[in-house]
A and B are shown apart, each in its own frame.
Chain A
Amino acid sequence: MAVKDYIRQRFFPHIWCPGCGHGIVLNALLRAIDQLGMSKNEIVMVSGIGCSSRISGYVDFHTLHTLHGRALAFATGVKMSMPELNVIVPMGDGDALAIGGNHFIHAARRNIAMTAIIMNNRIYGMTGGQYSPLSGYGTRATTAPYLNIDHDFDIAEMAMAAGASFVARTTTYHVRQMADILKEAILHEGFSVVEILSQCPTYFGRKNKMGSAADMMEMFKKNTTPIGSEAKKENPDLIERGIFVQKDVPEYCSEYDKLIENAMKGQ
């Protein structure tokens, strides 16, 4: 199948701004799914609210566009009730880590097999550029006119601490790596987290004088480095990208099947 066979073409061009990184994530995700040869009927995409969450309207899967921050909770119900489905949950940084932070760490803790994609553009775009938990200290936003004093956190480290059995990071510049990581994440038997640094030229870029979409992607190239690289040792400020964790941990739905077996035997 071609990539375009996986989308609902009648809704294009999409609503995202010119140069928005979320379109690149959609692009890579479709290629990953195409390369895996997955059937459209076996995929459920569950999203929340925000720019990122609009992705579910564009893909020709079973799609569930839910509430702000709650995508993983809805997805947990879908997956638990029908474990044979492949559940993909794209979220924004505010969606996943502010309003949805609790659902995020608990989905990771349960190690339920689904793919959480966090499109991290460090801003609330849909509402017009307010700072998010990922904006970081010293950035500007419409709600941080005197510079932001909130510290951000490291999504990958938090996901690992919460128990996610697959954790990776990439950027919209590194498109081939993005598709490769997404393939691994989708195939992973457990909760997989993929953080993708994505540009919002309209709000985060403009407020913080970062130039065009292409300029912001150049920064992803310059500011990131493969995990464990020599460059990281010399410059600790570089952001590592690649797969941090990929381990076998008992998966929640399979564990529940065993529980049912025991309950039925009266144990």
Chain B
Amino acid sequence: MSKNVKFIQGNEVCVEAALYAGLDFFAGYPITPSTEIAEHMSLRLPQTGGKFLQMEDEIASICAIVGASLTGHKVMTATSGPGFSLMQEGLGYAIMTEIPCVIVNVQRGGPSTGLPTGPSQGDVYQARWGVHGDHAIIALTASNHQDIFSITVDAFNMAETYRTPVILLFDEVVGHMRERLVVPEPEEIPLVERLRTSVKAGVDYHPYLPREDGRLPMSDFGGVHRYNVTGLFHDMWGFPSNNSGVTHGLLRHLVDKIKNNVEVITRFKEYYLEDAECILISYGSSARSALHVMENRRSRGDRIGLLELQSLWPFPYELVRKKCANAKHIVVVEMNMGQVIRAVKRAVDHPDRVVLANRIDGFFINPTDIKNILRLIQGKGV
């Protein structure tokens, strides 16, 4: 059987992967550079019996998908910077109520309306801390279409596994770029389905009582268990509580279920790290330029390697520390004024060895930009 090969935009890849993962409800609002996700979704979802809804704004979009997730569906919304800002309240609600959903942010330049068509990776910390209050979050990213596909499927799997929203932090370049995608065969990538309770009708069901493995079996709205869902701190039945034990326990659970699974959640790719004296750390489209530089320098005999992060939150501190233990130079390549570099500096044993190669002018960071930084490090001048 011939492989299903496509030559499509990254945004379309995200749609195809979501459908592969079992998505059947999407609500969104047009915003550059994520709009093609909504457009392609409006075409593709009804063909599979799913529903696409164009809401009145991004606030309504995230609220609608949370509502649809509660009836047992896999759901997603997609947006960019300004829309992602509007979604923060709904995102916090999904975190607090532990409702599986996937939120795509195809990043553009900011703050504010910023650079609608210009690439940027400036939302790394908004993904982490845009929601008020203590919480944990999963944010994934990818640098090419094959990885966009698999990481999108991963996002749905993690949303179901941990009963949490998962953020896909793409950027304008990977979103709009066209390249080859080999669509995986059905069942080639394992899927995690909604874990539903086995508690029978008439028996007390606790929607917010985690099992020993930390997972919380759900009951669909419309089913035999009637329970409450609220953004207030709540007890194991879902009813509001300001009991100190309940409050402390819930907050710990919300953070620990992700924090304690960093190693399971972590996604990365590594190239020539074993003997690397200089390690590039990058993610998303920036990692394409970093990869190019790395390959180019390797071919000339430089001991250079690349660590491409595909999960930014929870940040894989231990992984980064270990991989960089023997590096003399660590260059973080990203399109912002230094976001992931903060986490890298916290992670490594010698933060003074970490430097930034960035670009913040609305143009894609190219290999020359990175090479210039490497020349500076080597004392060669630009």
Contact = CB atoms under 8 A, between A and B. Distances in A.
Contact of A76 (B67, B70, B223, B224): B67
B228 A103 contact: no
A78 interface: yes
A64 to B, nearest CB: 5
A259 B52 CA distance: 11
B221 interface: yes
Given A66-B63, A103-B60, A260-B46, A41 B228 contact: no
Contacts of B60: 70, 73, 76, 102-103, 106
B25 A60 contact: no
B73 interface: yes
Given A57-B239, A65-B231, A106-B60, A81 B55 contact: no
B76 to A, nearest CB: 12
B46 A263 contact: yes
A102 B56 contact: yes
A60 B70 CA distance: 17
A78 B67 contact: yes
A70 B230 contact: no
Contacts of B51: 80-81, 256, 260
B175 interface: no
Interface string A54-66: 0011001111111
Interface residues of A, number: 38
A40 B225 CA distance: 10
Interface in B1-50: 24-25, 27, 46-47, 49
Nearest to B55: A73
A111 to B, nearest CB: 14
B59 interface: yes
A77 B64 CA distance: 4
Taking chain A's interface residues, is the majority helix, strand, or loop, or is none over half, making it mixed?
helix
Contacts of A80: 25, 51, 53, 64, 68
Interface in A9-30: 11
A42 interface: yes
A32 interface: no
Interface in A62-93: 62-67, 70, 73-82, 84-85
A264 interface: yes
B43 to A, nearest CB: 8
A217 interface: no
Most buried by A among B51, B67, B226: B67
Contacts of A79: 67
Contacts of A186: none
A67 B96 CA distance: 12
A95 to B, nearest CB: 13
A46 interface: yes
B184 interface: no
A12 to B, nearest CB: 13
Given A64-B70, A85-B221, A77 B65 contact: yes
A185 interface: no
A60 B63 contact: no
Nearest to A265: B47
B224 A41 contact: yes
A252 B175 CA distance: 31
Given A65-B231, A70-B90, A85-B222, A76 B240 contact: no
B222 A73 contact: no
Contacts of A259: 46
B230 A62 contact: no
Contacts of B24: 81
Given A74-B63, A76-B53, A81-B51, A66 B231 contact: yes
B229 interface: yes
29 contacts: A41-B223, A44-B222, A46-B67, A56-B228, A57-B228, A65-B232, A66-B93, A67-B90, A70-B89, A73-B59, A73-B67, A74-B63, A74-B64, A76-B53, A76-B55, A76-B63, A77-B66, A78-B221, A80-B64, A80-B68, A81-B24, A81-B68, A81-B71, A82-B220, A82-B221, A102-B60, A256-B51, A260-B46, A263-B46
Interface of B: 24-25, 27, 46-47, 49, 51, 53, 55-57, 59-61, 63-73, 75, 89-90, 93, 220-224, 226-232, 239-240
